[in-house]
Amino acid sequence: MTSEREKQADAFFHALADSTRRDILRRVLAGEHSVSALAQHYPMSFAAVQKHVAVLERAGLVSKRRSGREQLASGEVEAVRSVTALLAEFEQVWRGRVDRIDALLDDDTATPPTHEPTQKET
């Protein structure tokens, strides 16, 4: 059974898996942009950029608001912080594993192998 946190992590990583969406997120974290202004930065249609923004919005990384005829997109700093916290958890797990491997290697090299004579040597 998938927890709500795991579903959110799936949405985050899906959204961040695309370089265009990561670039859009960088731009809207720096300041609010209209979707039409964002679209001018990419060699794709306005509709394609809208879809990228929608994926980021579903992941909670971007919010949109209307201002007249324009849709303005803003980055959600708290959502980015939660992604960072999740990645920090993964980092701690892997650091623990690396530390255990290092300890095993240290133990292995600290204990010299014993040489037992074979029947031919006796």
Mean pLDDT by 10 residues, the chain (122 residues): 78 94 96 96 96 96 94 92 84 87 81 64 56
pLDDT of amino acid 19: 97
Task: Report the C-alpha gap between 4 and 11 in whole angstroms.
Answer: 11
Structure-token match 């031919």, residue found: 120
Q: How many residues does the chain have?
A: 122
- 58, 77, 78: which is closest to 12 by C-alpha? 58
- Predicted pLDDT of residue 118: 63
Q: Token pair 């040597």 is at which residue?
A: 121
What integer pLDDT is reported at residue 114 of this predicted model? 64
Domains of the chain: 4-76 (1.10.10.10)
pTM for the whole structure: 0.72
Would you give the DSSP letter of residue 115?
A: -
